[in-house]
Chains A and B, each alone.
Chain A
Amino acid sequence: MLKRKASLTATALMLLMSGVLAACGGGDNNKENASTPTSGTSKNGAAETAQLKGDFEIQYFVGGYGDAWWKSMIAGFKELHPDLNIKESAGPKINDQMKPRWIKNDPPDLVYIDGAGGLDVGQAVKDGQLMDLTEWFASAENVDGEKLSDVVITQPSAIEGKLYTVPLVFGSWGTFYDKALFSKNGWEAPKDFDSFVTVSEKIKAAGIAPYIHPGVYTGYLIGGFLFPAMVSANGDDPSILQDVSDLKPGIFKSEPVMKAVGQLVTMRDKGLIDKAAVALNHTDSQMQFLQHKDAFIPNGLWLPNEMAKDTPEGFEFGYIPSISQAPGGKYVANPYTSPMAIASKAKNPEAAKAFIQYIFTKKAAIEWAEKTGALMNLKVDLDSSKASEVSKGAIKFYSSDNLIVAPAVPIQADVNKEMENATLALTDNKIQADEWAERMEKIAEKVRSQK
């Protein structure tokens, strides 16, 4: 039930630094038409496109990003194609509700995959449920006449050489803190694991628990801490995560993985992890964090927007991609993406494609950033936009040489569950690192044998 499960299970995705830099670097290198996606252009685009007719069903999960952007996009699309009957299957429980329809091959035309119980892309491709978009994506243009493959920040990931998804949301896990609280107390934001431990002990001495995470959804701790730590421990080589994803025999006993797990043990043994964490879900833990009961929290870039209503006056979200690196080591950003896909059994695939072409525009990307506080997977200049400070701050990290972007690797569902279980047990001192490794190797072995 990890709400951003899609980010862990989504298809492999390699983020190239150059792409990110081109996308998010300071305003000067951006395309000239960044601010010109006027309605005029889109009308021209529409005129070229044939009018779409019939039914068109979109399934989209409504979570931290809300549905304001979707409503606005769908309304705009409807204006272009008044004869199209658009059906929205949306909501926070939509994944559960639509699942039976996917099973019996009566899917919606277009799906945005995010949230608890979201479609497992690997499984869906295996089952032949998603449309092969390879050829279409290679040449498709958005309604402003730009090639989709040129405008996206991160390219769709291939499964056995073919593309099935287009990443819509682009973001990163990391560790959050309150800048205001830190400067008030003279604490420094950690730059590496050692400084994290040092400042945490100061925080603890001041009577605040240093580190909280949602123990009910251990995926946050894994995504925000453990995976980046594995990359740090592997000499900043992110290929370790691919090995974990592939369940290479012995990988969970390998030195880098054990070192990362060891850092968790250190945090546990020094009493830096809030004892209450094991019983909290994400909302509970985030409230604790906002109320200054805890100083750090592993989370994703969606956090400030999600908690906007409950953020106290004067609270300043600070974001650190990773806290596990050795002194002088690079930051590691563990990305998450939430993709869109077209069902292979779509009844109106033309409308689905046209809708993707309609939403992958700069105008839509700016609207996304402003409405959700997160980043859409499209190169656009946000500096003059009303995007959240955290998004803008995150971009500074992305554009630094001092940062490694890890791949967003899929973790098989059984392995993922066991990793959550074992990691939680480890942080609660119920098992030790060697038992953790033993359990992970065992489940990996089992899953390998089932293939």
Chain B
Amino acid sequence: MRPFAVNRIPRWISGAVLVLWAFCVVYPVFWSIMGSLKDNQQFFNGKAWALPKFPLLWSNFSYTWETYHFGRYFVNSIVVTVGSMALALLLSATTGYVLARYTFKGSGLLYYFYISSLMIPAILTLVPMFFLFDTLHLTNSLTGLILLYAIGALPFGIFVIMGFFKSLPRELSESATMDGASHYGVFLRIMLPLAMPGLITVSIVNALSFWNEYPLALILMNDPGRYTLPVGLAVMQGEMQYRTEWGPLFAGLFISMVPILLLYAIFQSRINEGLVAGAVK
């Protein structure tokens, strides 16, 4: 199948640009791995792109893991990410479904209400949020963070999931209704399974942002036992101002990057699929 006779020269140039950009995005990752195996002397005396000297300092990883308690931060991050992914899915799938397939008083308003909240500068809510959390006794609780992340992800989730439900053929639900299925039955047994790719997409994109969220976690979690990885990293960077340890820092950066890269690698095609449906209204 070769319906497109593409000119050779543009093709060649395009290829070159792709390779160049691939280098630009892969090299920093490679470079931080290299960095995590160096000591300070190599950082400050050697060329920036030099490979680490032997013996490789794998100890930087165990050092970071233990001295900076990355093990615990890791677990916290996983709990928070998984928890808020599930909650975000529940909240945005229900609302998204109703907004996509039902018309009722205020449904249009509700839609714009959620979408326009994308324009709010999140940092504005930091201080009020803290007071709210305190009133509700949610500070220093992972549950509080889960709640907050899940709700913050609503507009995006509703937006994408709506697109999914809208794209499903109407006949499906109509025939089910005729067979006597209830509203809940249609949703749970027919619509939800069909929208699975969209739900996965939303969850992965959510996972990316939950895993990396930093300002809220910093303010709301001030018990080191509750730190998530980004807070742990920032604290480490903060301590680095007084104790220069580039190698362990890069090891920490790398540790925090790996799970999300794996997740993306596994679900890559699903994400692409989901975005198709989500973006094409």
Contact = CB atoms under 8 A, between A and B. Distances in A.
Interface in A87-103: 89, 91-94, 96-98, 100, 103
A287 B44 contact: yes
Contact of B234 (A64, A89, A93, A287): A93
Contact of B219 (A91, A97, A104, A291): A97
A310 interface: yes
Given A103-B127, A283-B244, A287-B44, A94 B239 contact: no
Given A97-B218, A97-B222, A104-B131, A92 B238 contact: yes
Interface string A294-308: 000000000000110
B244 A287 contact: yes
A306 B134 contact: no
B239 A100 contact: no
Contact of B44 (A3, A64, A106, A291): A291
A103 B241 CA distance: 27
Given A283-B240, A307-B244, A92 B219 contact: no
Nearest to A1: B241
Contacts of B218: 93, 96-97
Interface in B237-273: 238-244
A94 B127 contact: no
Nearest to B240: A283
Given A92-B238, A100-B127, A309 B40 contact: yes
Size band of the interface chain A makes with B: 20 to 34
Interface string B210-234: 0000000011001010000001001
Contacts, number: 59
Contacts of A89: 222
Contacts of A310: 40, 44, 244
B219 A100 contact: yes
A62 B238 CA distance: 9
A63 B241 contact: yes
A406 B234 CA distance: 35
Interface residues of B, number: 21
Given A63-B241, A282-B241, A93 B130 contact: no
B235 interface: yes
Interface string A382-397: 0000000000000000
A283 B241 contact: yes
A64 B222 contact: no
B242 A306 contact: yes
A91 B235 contact: yes
B118 to A, nearest CB: 26
B44 to A, nearest CB: 5
A310 B244 CA distance: 8
A74 to B, nearest CB: 15
Contacts of A97: 218-219, 222
Most buried by B among A89, A92, A307: A92
B125 interface: no
Contact of B134 (A3, A63, A104, A307): A104
Interface of B: 40, 44-45, 127, 130-131, 134, 218-219, 222, 224, 231, 234-235, 238-244
Give the 4 A-B CB pairs with smallest separation, nearest first: A92-B238, A97-B222, A100-B130, A64-B242
Given A97-B222, A100-B130, 16 more contacts: A3-B241, A66-B242, A91-B235, A92-B241, A93-B218, A93-B234, A96-B218, A100-B127, A103-B130, A282-B241, A306-B242, A306-B243, A307-B244, A309-B244, A310-B44, A310-B244
